[in-house]
Copies of this chain bind each other. A is one copy, B any other.
Amino acid sequence: METDRRGRPRLVESRRPGRSARDEILDAAAELFTTVGYAATSTRRIAESVGIRQASLYHHFAAKDDILDALLAGTVDASLELATDLLGEGGPAAPRLHTLVVADTTQLCGGSWNLGTLYLLPDLRVERFAAFHRRRDELRSHYRTLSDAVIAEHDGPAGAEDLPFRLVEAVINRRADDGDCPPDYPWTTAEAALRVLGCAKGFARMRAQTANRLQARRT
């Protein structure tokens, strides 16, 4: 193993994306959890994959489940913040749901590793991940609130209010099957999310609104 101990205490040159050792640990763990499996991955192996000592890893994360918790939080936090903002806005619900679906699907399509594949792990059904589950439930609840409003606006089908959230998370399975998603997948998914609620037109205008809204948030 190549060693270079000048500067910070590393066994090998950095070979991970990430601006900090913490980010590199998260990236290595995300790769191992999604390709080897969570149960089968040890913190020793994560440290080796980053090229740091296990003791250095424990400086950032006390245990493997803390790493998983940080990765899971990264899949819901920005979308939950956006959903909360959108719920606070007035006006018709359809364009707001459109924006949420585009942003959330873009996030789930992006990133180096398909972290959503970890959602269904039995390992997550413990108290340690209660905070993550609460936040994901809150996001789901915001989807339902907006979806119920779209159904009411468009005289849509009863019982469909959970489907937009499901369509968004289905991107996880699409990525798992095909390796990635087509570039327009977030827009296709947003339109589909509205169609299942009975809203089948006005998409050109919503696309423009969503593009503007997300552009404004980035700047």
Contact = CB atoms under 8 A, between A and B. Distances in A.
Contact of A166 (B35, B173, B195): B173
A191 B200 CA distance: 14
A40 interface: yes
Interface residue SS majority, chain A? helix
Given A122-B37, A157-B191, A198-B200, A167 B163 contact: yes
A119 interface: yes
Contact of A196 (B120, B159, B174, B192): B192
Given A122-B36, A167-B167, A200-B195, A188 B160 contact: yes
Interface of A: 34-37, 39-40, 117, 119-123, 125, 140, 157, 159-160, 162-163, 166-167, 169-170, 172-174, 176-177, 182, 184-185, 188-189, 191-192, 195-196, 198, 200
